[in-house]
Structure 1
């Protein structure tokens, strides 16, 4: 069983590692932050409560 389990775990870890690299390449920090802001705004709209103004960015485009 150990002879089968070790290669399976190695392949699984390789896939997870490559997935992490893919996310970092295709979703840079600025795009991820913009997507997160959009999702948060959508959640606030669903709740019916306006979101607080974002003072961190000063409203300036990035």
Structure 2
């Protein structure tokens, strides 16, 4: 009986700990600023007058 109560206690503790959720909230302004910075960096890689490099069509064998 003592072993059964220990097993039940361990299972109960495991079930309760499995229900824990951690939420992390990021400030919207900081996330938007970071996204704008990344977009600006990507646009700077391609100069306004440059056209994208042509791609080759898929070759079938």
TM-score greater than 0.5 by the shorter chain: no
Structure with higher Rg: it is 2
Q: Which has the higher helix share?
A: 1
Greater relative contact order, per chain length (Cα 8 Å cut-off, separation 6+): 1
TM-score, reference length from structure 1: 0.40
TM-score, reference length from structure 2: 0.41
